[in-house]
Chains A and B, each alone.
Chain A
Amino acid sequence: MKKSAGNVKRRALLKTAGVLGAVTLAGCTADSSGDAADERAALTPDRDLGERVDTLVMEYWSDYGGHTTTQENMAPVIRDSVESALGVEISIQPVDFTAQVGNVYHDERTHELTFWWHSNAPDRLDPHETTRRFAGDWAGGDGNSNPQNYINCEFTELAVGQANARSEEERREMVANAHSIMSEDRMTIPLAPNVVHGAYRTDAVEIGGVGEAGLTRTNPNVFIKSRALEDEYITAATGPVPLETRNFPISDSTAGLAIWNRLVHSPLVAYDEDYELVNVLAESYEVEADGTIFTVELRDGTFHNGDPITAEDVAFTFSHLAENAGIYSKATAVPYESITTIDDRTVEFVTEQPHLPLVTGVWPRWGVFHKETWVDGGVRDNPEEFDFDPIVGSGPFVVEDYQQGSHLELTPHEGHPFHEPESSIYWRVYQDQQSEYRAFSQNEVQIICEQAPGVMSEIERELTDTAETNVAQGFMYFSLYPQFPVAPTKFYEFRAALGKAIDRERLIETAFVEPVDAPLYSCPLAEAHPFRPPDEQLTKLVDDPRGEVDAARQVLIDAGWGWDEDGRLHYPDGTDLSPRWPEGEVPDPDEYDCL
């Protein structure tokens, strides 16, 4: 399509007349969207243009409590930024979480932009999941978890290979190089840190263990280190999912796993509230033979029934998890060659190939199980549905009472070798955040976690003397994931322009109670993440958190894109808009040699 300068003027004149009419009727004095369209239209008046870029569909998760609220607050800002800067309309589509991730994993082309967030689950402090999932062998409609259906063979080799690095340094370098490649491809457009909001009653709790991790159920240090002021119990709120089963290895709820594996049981090592890996049941450990032999020395501790925690229990725990990796969805496959007990207090893990995520990803996730109770309960015959009564844990709290989907009552365990909790914890199930807030306001519950910013504002306004809120930055992001197989997001320059166009400052102002640092680099790991590469290795999307509209447009102009007389974006003339591979299929191995 060719457009003459005369045409532009005529359109601009008509538009001005229209705008003036509308302004007169509405009593306004300006029409910024009209101005922006005129600006765009004037940028590439004489250019031969290809097809117009259709409305983009941006899907977000409509059923995720406080996070959904945050996404709903952010979505219009993203839409306005992109429409105004680039002249591309965005349709915001709420989709329930399961359907949305299904669309992505099965490469169903229902959308071009996925508005995604990763929870600050302690598991993700190890970079395996947050690197491996972007590898090209998981792209396409095979049901695997690649959020953008992204494929880059250089990245894939590093992302897969980092799990088998022979030393911490080598692994760190591979992870950094992998993320550097993905950053250069602009496959992640971070919007804001996944901020964690929580609150506690100052008249009932002396808070501890908050640190960088914040007031969240996945930071068990809060519940171990806080103290009740009024009576011996602290009542904490949780959603129903973590307390639906005490056969916790089958759970894939990160909060549930944290409660059962860190409070009722204890792991060998764990992340503290400042994301440092500390020994819990392990007195010490050694990694030898290029990351294939891991020897652990245990502390002198007891289970809740007084039995000593032995190497036999540790070996049972990790063997059992490995044997049932398909049943326990978080029990990721570890290439064990053997797990053997050297003596009562020493256990040796040998892997077929180097596997450093064992220390930083697998050990912190799982508490040590009491072998005798589990075997007597029939776990070997039926690992999905077995009966252990009572629950004999290795953690800092003893289970006094548990009622499925209702409550979990925990009292301190005297024989724990590392933690010394002072108060009991009563986890009470609440169906939604408003119920939690109402109960919190009446002191029926003293700690509430993972709240929407609106609830935080209400607490700050209404409960000034009796409650305090906490905001932690988190180590993961709210991000926009462009779908790699389809136009226009398959084009590098379009992704780059998207990254520059968004007004992150406004987005943060709209969505959060307190200001947080706007992410300026393309990377799925936030600044607090211990494996985030240094900034020099990442691609900077913008210098200005308010967005760089001119720079965004210039990227597109340089690549031959342009705008029509209505200010709408068009592809360069003759662009191939066909998808990289057919919908629902996988990328062609002939085209990508890493497949």
Chain B
Amino acid sequence: MVSVRYVGSRALQTVFLLWFMLTFLFFFFRLMPGSYLDIMMYRGADPESIAVFKENWGLNDPLYVQYGRYLVNFLGFDAGLSVQYREPVWDLVRRRMFNTFILVAPAITLSYVVGGVIGGLIGSRRDSRAGEHGLGALIFVGSLPSFFVGILLIAMFSMWAGLFPTSGMVSPEVTRTYRDAVWWRPYLTGDFAMHYTLPFVAIVFRYLYFPSLIIRTSFIDVTRQEFNEFYRVAGLTPRARLRHQLKHASLPLITLYPLSMTWALGGMVLIETVFNWPGIGQMLVQAVLSRDYPVIQFVFFIIAAFVILSNFVVDLVYGVVDPRISADD
């Protein structure tokens, strides 16, 4: 049973970390050289326009005043306006975050399921030829950069075989057909599935090795523990023993699954660029290059919050699975 004190302490830590990230991101990005005002200048804005812009955006105020304003707005669920597009940040990023999420979440989940099985099989046959070769193959797959996997898939299945479109999320014909339908309607088309397949496969392929290696190592550790002998003496069949071993060996994945999700979100820039997938990665790059602070802060904060909250949930789940953790804490 997880103690209330344990949950309270973890919750406090989580809130503190969220505030810290919010504050850190606000000040950190303002330390970067150059600002959006410099871009405006380059593109022909005159000094009078720049002066009005600074006044309107409160950029003449001291940084701590700007920070205070930002914090108050954020707590009121207002992430502000994008400096370069003057669109609400939330409007700008929500569809892209959705696009990224529907690609990353199923792909990472599948890579964990398939990777877990592969890792278990390799671990259970570690002394055989299949085990040795399987390990080598996994390391090879893991060493391939994601953009290379992407380009390889496009070259093979789009450019050469002509089976899938080269890029994008849906074709112009589909957007024209569903221009008056609800926003999610194009996601239910076969055309979307065709566009989805290659980037999905690229992510699964890219992230497969990690859970496989973790499970393999964990499986080997588990099979060396004494309780296996107990199960054997108790008369459990090899298959039943394998099931128990896999259950024990899969514990590290609870920790690593949300982390992998975050890594994948962070690493989506390349996949999104190669497949021209309208996700959050490319927008983030553009926002960083343009010093669009409200967008940068919000997106980085969302990614950081995902990690922090995932860890909080993992801590609670661990507390349930292994009560010693909360008791020791």
Residues of A within 8 A of B (CB): 63, 96-103, 105-106, 108, 123, 129, 138, 143-145, 233, 235, 240-241, 244-245, 247, 250-254, 325-333, 384-385, 400-401, 403-407, 409, 426, 428-432, 434-435, 438-439, 441-442, 444
Residues of A within 8 A of B55 (CB): 326
- The reply to whether A404 and B92 contact each other, CB–CB distance below 8 Å, is yes
- The reply to whether A442 and B34 contact each other, CB–CB distance below 8 Å, is no
Residues of B within 8 A of A (CB): 32-53, 55-56, 81-82, 84-88, 91-92, 95-96, 154, 158-159, 162, 165-169, 171-172, 175-176, 179, 272-276, 278, 282-283, 286, 289-291
Q: Which of A101, A244, A253 contacts B38 (CB 8 A)?
A: A101
Interface centre among B48, B172, B272 (most CB of A within 10 A): B172
- The reply to whether B49 and A98 contact each other, CB–CB distance below 8 Å, is no
Q: Which of B39, B52, B273, B278 contacts A97 (CB 8 A)?
A: B39
- The reply to whether A98 and B95 contact each other, CB–CB distance below 8 Å, is no
Look across to chain A and name the residue whose beta carbon is closest to the beta carbon of B45: A329
- The reply to whether B166 and A409 contact each other, CB–CB distance below 8 Å, is no
- The reply to whether A441 and B38 contact each other, CB–CB distance below 8 Å, is no
- The reply to whether A100 and B273 contact each other, CB–CB distance below 8 Å, is no
| Complex CA distance for A591 and B41, rounded to whole angstroms | 26
- The reply to whether A405 and B283 contact each other, CB–CB distance below 8 Å, is yes
Top 8 closest pairs, chain A to chain B, by CB: A326-B52, A102-B34, A98-B34, A99-B34, A329-B45, A99-B33, A145-B41, A435-B276
Residues of B within 8 A of A442 (CB): 158-159, 162, 165-166
- The reply to whether B33 and A103 contact each other, CB–CB distance below 8 Å, is yes
Q: Which of A96, A235, A333, A385 contacts B81 (CB 8 A)?
A: A385
| Complex CA distance for A254 and B45, rounded to whole angstroms | 12
| Complex CA distance for A96 and B289, rounded to whole angstroms | 7
- The reply to whether A332 and B49 contact each other, CB–CB distance below 8 Å, is yes
Residues of B within 8 A of A407 (CB): 172, 175
- The reply to whether A405 and B34 contact each other, CB–CB distance below 8 Å, is no
- The reply to whether A431 and B276 contact each other, CB–CB distance below 8 Å, is yes
- The reply to whether B276 and A102 contact each other, CB–CB distance below 8 Å, is no
- The reply to whether B39 and A327 contact each other, CB–CB distance below 8 Å, is no
Residues of A within 8 A of B273 (CB): 431-432, 435
Interface centre among A98, A245, A328, A431 (most CB of B within 10 A): A431
Q: Which of A144, A235, A244 contacts B87 (CB 8 A)?
A: A244
- The reply to whether A430 and B37 contact each other, CB–CB distance below 8 Å, is no
Q: Which of B32, B38, B48, B52 contacts A143 (CB 8 A)?
A: B38
Residues of A within 8 A of B165 (CB): 442, 444
| Complex CA distance for A93 and B95, rounded to whole angstroms | 37
| Complex CA distance for A407 and B167, rounded to whole angstroms | 14
Tell me how far the C-beta of B282 lies from the nearest C-beta in chain A, rounded to whole angstroms. 5
DSSP class of B's interface residues: helix, strand, loop or mixed?
A: helix
- The reply to whether A329 and B159 contact each other, CB–CB distance below 8 Å, is no
Q: Which of A99, A101, A103, A330 contacts B44 (CB 8 A)?
A: A330
Residues of B within 8 A of A241 (CB): 84, 286
- The reply to whether B289 and A332 contact each other, CB–CB distance below 8 Å, is no
Q: Which of A106, A108, A250, A325 contacts B85 (CB 8 A)?
A: A250
- The reply to whether B87 and A96 contact each other, CB–CB distance below 8 Å, is no
| Complex CA distance for A122 and B15, rounded to whole angstroms | 51
Look across to chain B and name the residue whose beta carbon is closest to the beta carbon of A62: B289
Can you report 6 residue pairs joining A to B where beta carbons are below 8 Å apart? A250-B86, A330-B43, A332-B46, A401-B176, A426-B172, A444-B165
Residues of A within 8 A of B282 (CB): 240, 431
Tell me how far the C-beta of B38 lies from the nearest C-beta in chain A, rounded to whole angstroms. 4
- The reply to whether A254 and B43 contact each other, CB–CB distance below 8 Å, is yes
- The reply to whether A138 and B274 contact each other, CB–CB distance below 8 Å, is no
Residues of B within 8 A of A426 (CB): 172, 176
- The reply to whether A327 and B53 contact each other, CB–CB distance below 8 Å, is yes
Residues of A within 8 A of B175 (CB): 401, 403, 406-407, 409
- The reply to whether A102 and B35 contact each other, CB–CB distance below 8 Å, is yes
- The reply to whether B171 and A444 contact each other, CB–CB distance below 8 Å, is yes
- The reply to whether B34 and A384 contact each other, CB–CB distance below 8 Å, is no
Given contacts A332-B49, A384-B81, A401-B179, contact A438 B43 (CB under 8 A): no
- The reply to whether A143 and B37 contact each other, CB–CB distance below 8 Å, is yes
Tell me how far the C-beta of A569 lies from the nearest C-beta in chain B, rounded to whole angstroms. 30
Look across to chain A and name the residue whose beta carbon is closest to the beta carbon of B51: A326
- The reply to whether A428 and B166 contact each other, CB–CB distance below 8 Å, is no
- The reply to whether A100 and B34 contact each other, CB–CB distance below 8 Å, is yes
Residues of A within 8 A of B283 (CB): 240, 405
- The reply to whether B53 and A145 contact each other, CB–CB distance below 8 Å, is no
Look across to chain B and name the residue whose beta carbon is closest to the beta carbon of A400: B179
Residues of B within 8 A of A444 (CB): 165-168, 171
Tell me how far the C-beta of B97 lies from the nearest C-beta in chain A, rounded to whole angstroms. 12
- The reply to whether B158 and A404 contact each other, CB–CB distance below 8 Å, is no
| Complex CA distance for A475 and B14, rounded to whole angstroms | 57
Look across to chain A and name the residue whose beta carbon is closest to the beta carbon of B154: A438
- The reply to whether A144 and B39 contact each other, CB–CB distance below 8 Å, is no
- The reply to whether A252 and B43 contact each other, CB–CB distance below 8 Å, is yes
Given contacts A123-B44, A407-B172, A442-B159, contact A435 B274 (CB under 8 A): yes
Tell me how far the C-beta of A445 lies from the nearest C-beta in chain B, rounded to whole angstroms. 9
| Complex CA distance for A253 and B32, rounded to whole angstroms | 22
| Complex CA distance for A428 and B34, rounded to whole angstroms | 30
Tell me how far the C-beta of B94 lies from the nearest C-beta in chain A, rounded to whole angstroms. 10
- The reply to whether B87 and A102 contact each other, CB–CB distance below 8 Å, is no
Tell me how far the C-beta of A345 lies from the nearest C-beta in chain B, rounded to whole angstroms. 31
Q: Which of B40, B154, B171, B272 contacts A329 (CB 8 A)?
A: B40
